[in-house]
Chains A and B, each alone.
Chain A
Amino acid sequence: MKELSLNILDITENSVKAGATLTEISLCENEDTMVLTITDNGSGMTEEILKGVADPFYTTRTTRKVGLGIPLLKLACEQTGGSLEISSKHIEKFPDNHGTKVSATFYKNHIDCVPLGDVVETVKTLIQGHPDTDFKFSHKTENGEVALDTRELRQMLEDVPLNTYEVIKWIEEYLREQYLEIQKA
């Protein structure tokens, strides 16, 4: 993957596929580190599946026997000296509070840290492809925060779908404007 924002897109697709109605993507930066956390309320994984997810030869796809989503994210953070943690509560054991949390820590100043890239494009793409599920995005830096919650948008838009072209464009501008603000600060 050329940018971390593409890993974020890829991993979040797993949340949607697991039936999540809400997926939270959080980026939290300080001087040395960036912590990416993707938390969903999807069906979760059994302990057995959880043990195998970092193995490239484990995948949920049916068209191929290789799954590289989690292994690529693990590689991206570990090559900076960081680490990946996944915890999950499977729906069968936790019928009321199931879901998965993926957390990756990156050391930003390490020479092998892949650039974050265009997160706005990732958020746009997720909403375009999955207008009926909710996403909460937050990027905290030392200069301020960029945030978006599709539940708030949905409330304003009522039955207008979130993947309407005008709405997607509004989301893009809304996020880009917030990024400009924190870059100025």
Chain B
Amino acid sequence: MKSLAELQAIKDKMKNKVILREGTNDIRVVVGMATCGIAAGARPVLNALVEEVNALGLMDTVTVSQTGCIGICEYEPVVEVFEAGKEKVTYVKVDVEKAKKIASEHLKGGNVVAEYTIKA
């Protein structure tokens, strides 16, 4: 059985990393999690992004966070990518597969997946 004591080990492991990480996250990924987003499938999209960012080793450069209604409910799930010095990218009608591709091609590779953006 898992016990709370295991968190002690996680804490010890993370302690050094936390210091390194501060202020190094320069890409911010935001998922709309209002009623509209949740009903359209934002929860699995968010969790896929969290998993992929970790699997691709992007924890130090990418932060995944949540927001309320972005205002374009008919395009949910919506994922916005903010990067310092670059124009915001808005991905629409995202699902788990699209989220994985956005993680590998855009967040890791630096290439916007144009076909999934609101402009496409």
Contact = CB atoms under 8 A, between A and B. Distances in A.
Interface of A: 1, 6, 9-10, 13, 17, 61, 63-64, 67-69, 72, 121-122, 124-125, 128-130, 152-153, 156-161, 164-168, 170, 173-174, 177
Task: Say whether chain B's binding surface is mostly helix, strand, loop, or mixed.
Answer: helix
A121 B43 contact: yes
Task: Say whether chain A's binding surface is mostly helix, strand, loop, or mixed.
Answer: helix
Is the interface on chain B under 10, 10 to 19, 20 to 34, or 35 or more residues? 20 to 34
A9 B68 contact: no
Contacts of B5: 156
B33 to A, nearest CB: 6
A64 to B, nearest CB: 6
A13 B68 contact: yes
A118 to B, nearest CB: 9
Among all A-B residue pairs, the 10 with the closest Cβ atoms: A63-B71, A129-B66, A156-B7, A160-B14, A165-B54, A69-B35, A174-B2, A63-B69, A166-B10, A61-B69
B59 A165 contact: yes
A167 B46 contact: no
